[in-house]
């Protein structure tokens, strides 16, 4: 099976001036579902009468705690024509961020002989990778999949793992350059970061190092919890940010 490249989520940025909308989390999850369905399940497209089975290893305690991420994944599959109970079956596991549960639940999903696996964040993806080297795995929200050794490179992941990355330090400057080319008058760019993450600190440092040559001012906005997203976007508007990189 041809390996899909890792999708760099930070390239999906929307200008937030002149009434344009910032990329919503649910739209982002639709993209994730697209990546999941297009890679492992497309190879089985000829088996329309067969229900595909996908295992999803989350990190919270239940679907309610996953909030819009959980709902967005389901909506994304439906948008692509995958309807649960008709042509796809989803097996969910919620480890409640307890380390030993990640390993046990990953093993459980592999034992179900699923067609593909989805790992929410680094710990889940690593547990799935350790549980199987053959079932396709799609990860989401992995800050640096190369650093964590999930993939060999972004363009050629290798093995049975691919997915969505929201950070790669060697590409920060290029992303800002592309953003500047798309919006020539751009001067103020917001970064949406988790201040508790070491990756976020590296992200800010890399962006600030690349910004002067492009005539950009970088400002970081902190988000730790889901209910902090809206206040962060409000703060961006007050600070006259013209674009945001997530």
Task: Decide: helix, strand or coil at residue 188.
Answer: strand
pLDDT score for 199? 74
Residue 15's pLDDT is what? 36
Mark whether 180 and 161 lie in a shared domain: no
Domain boundary among 165, 200, 226: 165
Q: Is residue 5 part of a domain?
A: no
What letter would DSSP give residue 187? -
Mean pLDDT for the stretch of residues 79-85: 85
Residues 146 and 194 reside in one and the same domain:
no
Check residue 32 and give its pLDDT. Answer: 62
Say whether pLDDT at 1 is over 80.
no
Strand partners, 53: 89
Asked, for residue 210, whether it belongs to a domain, the answer is yes
Q: Rounded to the nearest 5°, which phi and psi values hold at 77?
A: -60, -45
Domain that holds residue 92: 24-165
190, part of any domain: yes
Q: Is the residue at 128 inside a domain?
A: yes
Same domain, 39 and 144: yes
Residue finishing a domain among 113, 145, 165: 165
Distance CA 195, CA 181 (A): 29
pLDDT at 215 over 90: yes
Segment 166-210, tens digit of pLDDT: 666 667 888 899 899 999 999 999 998 888 776 778 788 889 999
Give the residue, 216 or 85, on which the prediction is more confident: 216
- The percentage of residues in the chain with a pLDDT greater than 90, rounded to a whole number, is 40
143, 185: one domain:
no
Which comes out higher in pLDDT, residue 221 or 97? 221
Instruction: Say whether pLDDT at 107 is over 80.
Output: yes
Question: For 49-63, 82-96, 134-148, which range has the lowest pLDDT when averaged over its residues?
Answer: 134-148
Mean pLDDT throughout 97-117? 95
Which residues have C-beta within 8 Å of that of residue 223, sequence separation ≥ 6? 192, 193, 194, 229, 232
Number of domains observed in the structure of the chain: 2
Whether residue 200 is contained in a domain is answered as yes
Go through 211-220 and write b for each residue having 16 or more CB atoms within 10 A of its CB, e for each that does not: beebebebbb
Q: How confident is the model at residue 21 (pLDDT cuts 50, 70, 90)?
A: very low
Domain CATH for 127:
3.40.50.2300
Tokens describing residue 212 = 């002067």
More confident residue, 10 or 60: 60
Residue 37, in any domain of the structure: yes
Residue 157 and residue 180 in contact, taking contact as beta carbons nearer than 8 Å: no
Q: Are residues 240 and 146 in the same domain?
A: no
Residues 138, 161 within the same domain: yes
The answer to whether position 11 is within a domain reads no
Confirm whether 178 is domain-assigned: yes
Residues 86 and 47 in one domain: yes
User: What pLDDT is attached to residue 227?
Assistant: 83
Shared domain check, 53 and 155: yes
Final residue belonging to a domain, choices 115, 133, 165? 165
Confidence of residue 118 (pLDDT cuts 50, 70, 90): very high
Per-residue pLDDT at 20: 39
Q: Cα-flanking dihedrals φ and ψ of residue 56, to 5°?
A: -120, 120
Helical (H) or strand (E) element with 140: strand 137-142
Which one of 14-28, 111-125, 135-149, 160-174 scores highest in mean pLDDT?
111-125
Residues 180 and 136 in one domain: no
Location of structure tokens 């593909």: 116
Co-location of 134 and 186 in the same domain? no
Mean pLDDT of 199-222: 90
Residue 95 has what pLDDT?
Answer: 96
158 and 46 assigned to the same domain: yes
Handedness of CA 63, 22, 166, 83 (dihedral sign): positive
Same domain for 191 and 149 = no
Q: Which of the two residues, 136 and 163, has the higher pLDDT score?
A: 136
Q: Please state, rounded to an integer, the average pLDDT across all residues of the chain.
A: 81
């Amino acid at each position: 099976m041809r390996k899909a490249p890792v999708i760099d989520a930070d390239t999906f940025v929307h200008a937030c001036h002149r009434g344009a909308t910032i990329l919503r989390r649910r739209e982002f999850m639709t993209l994730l579902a697209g990546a999941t369905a297009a890679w492992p399940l497309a190879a089985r497209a000829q088996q329309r009468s067969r229900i595909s089975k996908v295992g999803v290893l989350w990190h919270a305690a239940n679907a309610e705690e996953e909030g819009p991420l959980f709902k967005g994944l389901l909506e994304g599959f439906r948008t692509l024509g995958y309807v649960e109970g008709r042509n796809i079956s989803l097996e969910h596991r919620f480890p409640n961020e307890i380390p030993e549960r990640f390993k046990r639940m990953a093993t459980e999903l592999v034992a179900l002989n699923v067609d593909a696996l989805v790992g929410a964040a680094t710990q889940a993806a690593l547990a799935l990778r350790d549980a199987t080297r053959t079932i396709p795995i799609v990860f989401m929200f992995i800050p640096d999949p190369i650093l964590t050794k999930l993939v060999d490179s972004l363009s050629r992941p290798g093995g049975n793992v691919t997915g969505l990355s929201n950070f790669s330090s060697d590409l920060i400057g290029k992303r800002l350059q592309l953003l500047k080319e798309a919006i020539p008058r751009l001067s103020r760019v917001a970064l949406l970061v988790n201040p508790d993450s070491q990756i976020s600190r590296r992200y800010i440092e890399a962006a600030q190092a690349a910004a002067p040559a492009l005539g950009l001012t970088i400002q970081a906005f902190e988000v730790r919890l889901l209910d902090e997203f809206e206040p962060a976007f409000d703060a961006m508007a007050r600070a006259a940010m013209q674009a945001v990189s997530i």
